[in-house]
Amino acid sequence: MSITINLRIKKKHDMDWQNTRRLVTSGSMLFIFFLLILGGIEYGYWQYLTNKSNELASDIATNKDRIRALKDIEEQKSLVTVKTTKLQELFTKRFNYVAALNDVTNLFSNTIDIRTIAINESGECTVDAKKSQELRIDPMYKLTSTIKTLRLTLTIASSDELQEIIRNITTFQAQGLASASVGKLVRLEDGSYQTDLTLNFNPSISQPPERSIQ
Amino acid sequence: MKTSKEQLSQYGGAIYSFLILFIVLGLVYFFFLPKYDEIKILQDAIVQQTKELEETSSYLAYLTELAESTLGIEQSIIDYALPSDNDVVSLMVTYEGLSAFPSIDLAPLNISPGLVSSGKSVGQQSEGQGGQSIDVKSFEFTTKAESASEITVHDFINEIYQARRFLTIKSITLSRDTEKSLYALGLNLSAYYLPPFTIAPSPDLVKKGKDQNAFFEQLKNTKLYDQLVLDGVPVGKTDLFSFE
């Protein structure tokens, strides 16, 4: 009896193993090569960013040096800024008298004949006037100034007119008008009467419009 | 018994794989990850630096612009509007200029002695360098005019508010002549000055000053009466009789 050994099977097995090894070796080499390329790209990008950062740092340092050289300008401008801020504070507090005078005239819809007007920057307004028509406040009128209080000393022809005023004052309406009251009544030598009306306004409702220096 | 060559042949694959893995891990751990972190840090730093560069460039450009032209103009405008001392000449010039307003007959300026030098503090006090107070002073004076129409009064009030030397009206009184429909005008005015002070230069203040450009444009359009009233007399004197 003879023994037959199939050498071809072993040889085929060896060849498969060698092919696999070759494939793994080539694959891993390729992978390492790919990693090295990737590393190179990453390094290049890092180098680019480092250079860019250095350039920026250098530009910033140059700018700072030049700014330091202009320190006297910085100092003078700081002084100007403080002065301007102070002037702006004063400017915003400046009372708009033209608007206040218009408000006094327009609020009563020309139903009074004004003799004197005194206004101060706190928004307190005192008016001495003679009633020319039935006293009326325009309900649609919105104050354009920051008048807070309006004290109206009104001369009327008869006491009947006073009753009319007291009756009307309860129905006074105007935008921003907070309260209205009648004060003392004085009988004058010529037989006419003088009464004091006080109107208080809410400045938050009657906001003045924006204005410029003019 | 296997020879060392056979053993190497048998475990070669494993050793090779381990070596590759070691190289890859080494590359990732010692190169890729640190560089990736550095790149992230650099990117953030560049964003910050770009922003800082833009800010410093813009600030530098503004300082250069100030140095070349604007600052001198701003200083002259603000020093006229709010002088460092009780600049009587600019006040008189302004008042005389206002007196020339058409259709109004303004009474001569009457400032009582000592009033100008004893200005009272107004507004909020702030602190300068070394705790020095920055304090605006004011002094009040009155004036009156006879026989002005309502429109003239309005225009005249606007004219006062248009003057370069900053004035405020503290109070106003109008008395109407019923026959002529004209008003007698009484005004209580305030003029201001800001005594000299020092302040530490600060970029924040300079930047804040940049935001005041709109206000400066308004101030630029205010009215100077120098040429109208005085010819060749410099404004800024506190001693009227000095030749300097």
Closest-CA residue of B relative to A23 is B13
B212 at A interface, C-beta within 8 A: yes
Examine the predicted complex and report whether its ipTM is higher than 0.85.
no
CB A70 within 8 A of CB B201: no
Tell me the whole-structure pTM to 2 decimals.
0.74
Which chain A positions have a beta carbon within 8 Å of B20's beta carbon? 28, 31-32
pLDDT along chain A (214 residues), means of 10: 60 74 83 90 96 96 94 92 92 92 85 91 93 78 87 86 75 76 84 87 60 46
> In which band, very low, low, confident or very high, does the pLDDT at B159 lie, cut at 50, 70 and 90?
very high
Which range, of A24-28, A137-141, B83-87, B149-153, averages the lowest pLDDT?
Answer: A137-141
- Over residues B194-221, the mean pLDDT reads 88
Cβ contacts of residue A84 below 8 Å, gap of 6+? Answer: B74, B78, B209, B212, B215, B216
How close B178 gets to chain A, by Cα (Å)?
A: 7
Q: Is B174 on the interface with A (CB under 8 A)?
A: yes
Task: Specify the residue for token string 């000449």.
Answer: B89
Among residues of chain B, what percentage have pLDDT more than 90? 36
CA distance B95 to A96: 20
Nearest to A81 among B128, B176, B205 (CB): B205
Do the chains contact at B209 and A84, CB–CB below 8 Å?
yes
pLDDT at A124: 95
- By DSSP bridging, strand A177-187 and strand B105-106 are unpaired
Query: Given CB atoms, is B74 within the 8 Å cutoff of chain A?
Result: yes
Q: What is the pLDDT of residue B7?
A: 65
Q: How does residue B161 score in pLDDT terms, banded at 50, 70 and 90? A: very high
Residue B67 pLDDT > 60: yes
Nearest to A87 among B52, B161, B166 (CB): B166
Contacts of B203 in chain A (CB under 8 A): 74
User: Hey, is the C-beta of B109 within 8 angstroms of any chain A C-beta?
Assistant: no
Read off the pLDDT band of B10 (50, 70, 90): low
Query: Quick check: B213 contacting A, CB < 8 Å?
Result: no
Mutate to test the interface with B, among A81, A85, A130 (most CBs of B within 10 A): A81
Residue B199 contacts A where some CB pair is shorter than 8 Å? yes
pLDDT value of position A209: 45
- CB contacts of A63 in chain B (<8 Å) are 53, 56-57, 59-60
Compute the average pLDDT of residues B48-70: 93
Q: What is the pLDDT of residue B115?
A: 61
Residue B119 has pLDDT above 50, yes or no: yes
Q: Which of A31, A57, A80 sits opposite B75 (nearest CB)?
A: A80
Q: B174, B213, B222: which to substitute to probe chain A, counting the most A Cβ within 10 Å?
A: B174
Q: How far is A174 from chain B (nearest CA, A)?
A: 24
Which residues in chain B are closer than 8 Å to A75, comparing Cβ atoms?
199, 201
B175 to chain A: nearest residue by CA? A116
Distance from CA of A135 to the nearest CA of B (A): 19
Measured in angstroms, the CA of A1 and the nearest CA of chain B are apart by: 30
CA distance A81 to chain B (A): 5
Q: Are B185 and B174 in contact (CB under 8 A)?
A: yes
